[in-house]
Structure 1
Amino acid sequence: MKHADFFIGLEFLGLAGFRWRCTDVGARTIVAVRLDHNDPNWYRGPPYVAKEVVFDEHEIERCHLTEEDAILAAIEEVDTSGHPGYPGDVVNHMMKARFEEASARYPHEGVLRFDRCAHDGEIFHPYAGRKDGAQWIVQLYLPFRQSFLEMPEREFIMLPIATAADVRARADQSAE
């Protein structure tokens, strides 16, 4: 969806197929409540008893009006993106690193939201972080190389966020 599609009261599907209701439209974001209670009193407001959640421009793009729209978008993504995906053992490794050590959990969740693109076109997928002295190290998976890498947080966040075009270009580079 696009930001202009939203209005207060609009119901839509967000990530993982959850239903939401838009409660506010900002300049570049929308705010919504998740529709997960049977009692309509949860959704009287503002203020709302249900927690309001901000959707930024990246999350808005992944919203859909219907389940059919969501399925068709997922099929198109798989058919056109060129992303190689994540093997099961890699997902297992990433989840263990991210959640196993609860006391030392990486505090900057926003850093882990977006893949980044290196200057040579390589795609870096952040999945966890670890403390090294006074600095944080971001743990990365390189899906096209099927390898792991670490990088100081400061260096990682200076890289541009990877776009769909970056992923497609990297896929085309792999095919050569």
Structure 2
Amino acid sequence: MELSDFHIGLEFVASAGFRWRCTDVGTRTVLAIQIDRRDPNWYQGPPYIAKEVVFDEHEIAHCHLTNADAVSAALKDHQTMTHPGYPSAVVTRMLEARHAQPYPHSGVLRFDRCRPDGEILHPFAGRQEEGEWVVELYLPFQEDYEVMPERNFIALPRVTPADLRARAAKKNG
């Protein structure tokens, strides 16, 4: 979906098929409450008892009007996907590392980044080393791990679909 598709009261699907109701539309974001209770009193407002959540441009792009639209988009993504994915052992390691030490800059972990050589870096945890925050990374195309100072990681550009296609072509070529 796009920002222009939203209006107050619109119900939509996001985040693993959960239903949401738009409560406000800004210039770059949407506020919404999750529709997950039977009692309609949770949804009276504003202000609302239910927590309003901010959807930014990245999250808005992954919203859909219906479950059928969400499934169609997921199938299309799967058919055209260039990302190699994450083996179960890698997911386990990433989750264990994420919960081993609280990391106060969770926004750093939201987006993959691209190194100048085209390598894709997936951040999954942060920790302090010698008084400095470092980001633990998984390199999905190399199936390997690295650690990078947080300041260096956030200076890299976010991964785009073109970056993924280029990296996949490099691996397959």
Shorter-chain TM range is over 0.9
1:160 has 2:157 as partner: yes
Query: Are the aligned partners of 1:125 and 1:143 in contact in 2 as well (CA < 8 Å)?
Result: yes
In structure 1, distance between residues paired with 2:49 and 2:102: 29
Partner Cα distance (1:120, 1:75) in 2: 30
Aligned positions, number:
173
Corresponding residue for residue 62 of structure 1:
62
Matched, 1:146 2:143: yes
| Paired residue secondary structure (1:16) | coil
Deviation at 1:162, TM superposition (A): 0.5
- The residue that corresponds to 2:95 in the other structure is 95
With the length of structure 2 as denominator, give the TM-score of the two structures: 0.98
> Per-residue deviation at 1:66?
0.9
What aligned pairs does 1:1-176 form with structure 2 within 5 A after superposition?
1-99=1-99, 101=100, 104-176=101-173
For structure 2, list consecutive stretches of 5 or more residues without a partner in the other structure: none
Query: Counterparts of 1:60 and 1:133 in 2: how far apart (Å)?
Result: 38
- Distance in 2 between the 1:112 and 1:23 partners? 27
The CA deviation at 1:81 is 2.3
Query: 1:141 touches 1:148 (CA, 8 Å); kept in 2?
Result: yes
Q: Share of identical aligned residues, percent?
A: 60
Q: Deviating runs (4+, > 4 A) in structure 1?
A: none
1:134 CA displacement: 1.8
SS in 1 for 2:46: coil
Q: Deviations over 1:9-66 (max 9, x none)?
A: 0000011110000000000100000001111111111100100000000000011111
